[in-house]
Every structure is written in structure tokens, then in C-alpha cells.
Amino acid sequence: MRISKTNLGRMFGAIALTGMISGVALAAVAPKDAVVQRQANFKKIGGTFKALNDQLRSPAPDKAQIMVLANQLKSLTPGIPTWFPVGSGVEAGVKTAAKAEIWQKPDVFKGHAKALQVETDKLAGIAGGGDIEAIKAQANVVKNKCSACHSDFRQKDS
């Protein structure tokens, strides 16, 4: 799939706007709704990361698509700390994999989120260079940052 520079610019703008909206939206909603929105946002991240890895495993990876996906991850991750307003744990009455430690150790949680943001920023930069092996290596770093946070702050059976 070929993407023109004009369309690529439009996609980046839409991705950035989506990330900004996702990051601020949860602060003003009811805790139950925050859980639902948080889960939707994480599904966006998961789907985007899967699509990125599918491209990286492809015999002919589409570098433009990889760049779009990496930038989408970059735009989504800054919002993560805002997706967990107080009261949006199990007490919200919606099934959630979020552990209470998120609210008990907010600085540690925010540290994990910031580390992921830093690494997705790097991924987007590396994706712009088009070196598939370097992108694969950085995607693995991003995966490890996700796993580290899940280990500390996500229920194992979810």
C-alpha cells in the first residue's frame, strides 16, 4: 500500500488528536465508564502493536505503514496515567485487570508508563529511518516495557 505525503500528514494529525483525546477524556468520566474507555484504549494499543509486529514479520514489510503504526503507539502511550482515575479499580463494578497497586504506588506506576512512552518515542524515531532490524529491536524493548508494567500492575488471570 502506497501512502502519499499529504495523506501521511493527515494520518499523523488524526493519530495525534486521537492520542490527546484519549489522554484527557478519562479524567472527566464516571469510574465505571473510565474502566470501559481504558480497556478500549489498551485494545487500540494492543491492536496497533500486533499490526506493527505483523508488518515486521512480513517478508516485505511496508515501511510507511510501520511508521504510521509506530507513531500511533507514540501518540497513545502518554495518556496511560490518565486512564486510571481514582475509583476505577474493581470498586467501579466492572471487570478489570488493574491491580490496586496502581493507586497504592502511583509514582511507580507512572514511572512504568513514562518508560513506555520514552521507548515508543524511540520506536517512532527509528521507524522513520526505515531500518527494519533496528525497528524490530526497539519493538522488543517496547514489548518488554509493557510486560514489566503488566507484571507489577495487571492481574495474572486477565
Q: What is the chain's pLDDT, residue by residue, as a tens digit (158 residues)?
A: 445 555 555 555 545 444 444 444 455 689 999 999 999 999 999 999 999 999 999 999 999 999 999 999 999 999 999 999 999 999 998 899 999 999 999 999 999 999 999 999 999 999 999 999 999 999 999 999 999 999 999 998 75
Query: According to the model, what pLDDT value does residue 9 have?
Result: 52
Q: Are 57 and 50 in contact (CB under 8 A)?
A: no
For residue 156, the model assigns a pLDDT of 85
Handedness of CA 146, 148, 152, 154 (dihedral sign): positive
| Cα–Cα distance measured from residue 121 to residue 130, given in angstroms and rounded to the nearest whole number | 15
- At residue 22, the pLDDT reads 47
Residues listed for the chain: 158
- 5-153 CATH: 1.20.120.10
Instruction: Find the radius of gyration of the CA atoms of the chain.
Output: 16
pLDDT for the residue 104: 96
In angstroms, the CA 136 to CA 53 distance is: 8
Phi, psi of 154 (to 5 degrees): -125, 140
77 and 28 in contact (C-beta within 8 Å)? no
Locate the domains of the chain by residue range.
5-153
Are the C-beta atoms of residues 148 and 95 closer than 8 Å to each other? no
Report the predicted TM-score, pTM, of the whole model to 2 decimal places.
0.81
Vertex 65 angle, CA 73 and 119, to 5° = 30
Q: How far is 87 from 98, CA to CA, in rounded Å? A: 11
Output the pLDDT for position 15.
52
Q: State how far Cα 154 lies from the chain centre.
A: 15
